[in-house]
Amino acid sequence: MTALSLLFMAVFIALITAESSVYFREQFEDGDTWRSRWVESQHKSDYGKFVLSAGKFYGDAEKDKGLQTSQDAHFYALSSRFADFSNKDQPLVIQFTVKHEQSIDCGGGYIKLFPSDLKQEDMHGDSTYNIMFGPDICGPGTKKVHVIFNYKGKNHLINKDIRCKDDEYTHLYTLIVNPDNTYEVKIDNKKAESGSLEEDWDFLPPKKIKDPEAKKPEDWDEREKIDDPDDKKPEDWDKPENIPDPDAKKPDDWDDEMDVEWEPPMVTNPEYKGEWKPRQIDNPAYKGKWVHLEIDNPEYIADNEIYKYDSVGVIGLDLWQVKSGTIFDSFLITNDPKLAEEVGNETWGATKVCFFNYYLSILNNFSLNCNFDKISHFDVFVPLRMLRRR
Ligand SMILES: *[C@@H]1O[C@H](CO)[C@@H](O)[C@H](O)[C@H]1NC(C)=O
Ligand SMILES: *[C@@H]1O[C@H](CO)[C@@H](O)[C@H](O)[C@H]1NC(C)=O
C-alpha cells in the first residue's frame, strides 16, 4: 500500500467515524400511528393515558403535536424501541421538549433510556435504566433537572443543582455525554451545566484518603494560647450576682401575723464581676495544627469509560403527575451534538420565533409568515407574557 492510499484510508475512516447517526427521532407528525411505535406498560392496570395534542396554544397545530398526559394523579409508563446501539467512543445526545402548559404543581418531565433487554410491557419505576434525564417539579422545593446515570448497577444522581424551567411554555432539554467522560446539559439550546462525570457524580470512591496509619502524637499540642499560670484570681473577686435591695423597706402595714415573712426584693449587685478567667498567653509548647497525611485510596480504580453503555435500545416516559397536561415532543437520540442543536433550532426554535412574531404582528400590523391554523385556540396573553419575560 502506498503512503498516499494509506492517507486516503485514514481520511475515509475519519469520515466514517465522524458520520452522524440518528438512533431515534419522534416528532408525532403522522396522527395516531405513534401508537404502533409506543408501548404502554401493563405492569399496573391503571396507568394514565397519553393523548396526541398540540395543547391549548402552539406555533403550528400539526407540528407541535406531542404526547400529552391526560389524567390527574396518575402514573404513566410508555416506551418506544429503536435499534440497539452502544455509545462507545462517541457522544450520546438525548434531546426532547417539555411543555407544562397546565402550570404544573408536581410531576415528572423526564425520560429514561433503557438497555434493549427491557420488557416494555412490564416497564415500571424499578426497571433498570441507563440514564434518567429531564425536569422534575414538585412544589416550590423541587424544580430541578435530573441527570441520573446507572453505573455498575447503581443509580447515581448529579451532585450539582440544575434548575429546570417552571413556566407553561415549550422548553428544549438536551444531554450530551462525551467519550472523554465530560457532559453538558443544555436548556433551550443554551448551556445550563457542564463538567466531568467523575467530578460531578460519586461513581468512584475518592482518589485520596486520610492515611489510616497516621495518628496525631499524644503529646502534639495544638493549643495556640493557654491560661497564664501566673495569673491568679484576686481574693475579693467572688461576689454574689444578686443581693437584697439595701434601699427596700418593709411596708409599714405589713402584717407579720397574716402574711409570709417580708423579704426585700433582689437587685443586681454592682460589685459583681462575673466569672473570673485567667489571662491568655502564647503557648510555648504549641506545634501548629496537626495535618492528617493523605495517601492514594487503594479502593480507587480509575475508569476512563464511565460514560459507556453497551446497550441502549428503549426510551421511556415513566413518571407520576398530580396535575396532568404536560406535552412531550421532538425526541431525538443521536451521536451528533451539532445536529441536535440544528434540530432544536428548527423545531423548538421555530415555535418560539413564531410566537414572538405573532405578537409583533399584532403590535405592528405586519403580515405573518407563520402558520397558525387555529388562531382562536391561541391564547393572546401567552405571547404577551413571553415578550415581557425578555
Ligand atoms: C441555533 O440557533 C442559534 C441562535 O439563533 C445560533 O447561534 C446557532 O448557531 C444555531 N445552531 C445551529 C447548529 O444551527
Ligand atoms: C394593516 O395593514 C393592512 C394592509 O397590510 C391594512 O389594510 C390595514 O388597514 C392595516 N390596519 C391597521 C390597523 O393599520
What the chain holds in terms of domains, given with CATH numbers, is: 17-205+304-355 (2.60.120.200)
- Give 189 Cα–ligand 1 centroid separation in angstroms: 8
- Give 303 Cα–ligand 2 centroid separation in angstroms: 66
Q: What b-and-e string marks burial along 72-100, b requiring 16 or more CB atoms within 10 Å of the CB?
A: eebbbbbbbbbeebebeebbbbbbbbbbb
* pLDDT on residue 132: 98
Surface-to-core class of residue 110, CB atoms within 10 Å of its CB (0-12 exposed, 13-18 middle, 19+ buried): buried
pLDDT tens string 236-291: 888 889 999 988 888 888 777 776 788 888 999 988 988 899 999 999 999 999 99
- Give 287 Cα–ligand 1 centroid separation in angstroms: 60
- Could you give the CA distance from residue 321 to residue 298 in angstroms, rounded to a whole number? 44
Interval 216-241 mean pLDDT: 91
Determine whether the annotation assigns residue 136 to a binding site: yes
* pLDDT on residue 71: 97
Residue 5 confidence (pLDDT) above 60: no
Who lines ligand 1 at CB under 6 A?
189, 338, 341-342, 345
Rounded to the nearest integer, the mean pLDDT of the chain is: 87
Determine whether the annotation assigns residue 110 to a binding site: yes
Is residue 342 within 8 A of residue 352, CB to CB? The reply is no
Query: Would you place residue 367 in the very low, low, confident or very high pLDDT band (cuts 50, 70, 90)?
Result: low
Interval 103-128 mean pLDDT: 96
* Higher local confidence (pLDDT), 246 or 369: 246
Interval 85-114 mean pLDDT: 96
* pLDDT on residue 381: 42
Q: How many residues does the chain have?
A: 390
Interval 59-71 mean pLDDT: 90
Closest approach atom of ligand 1 to CA 349: 2
Residue 25 confidence (pLDDT) above 50: yes
- Could you give the CA distance from residue 118 to residue 288 in angstroms, rounded to a whole number? 59
What are the grid coordinates assigned to 102, written together? 397546565
pLDDT above 90 as % of the chain: 69
Q: What is the pTM of this model?
A: 0.72
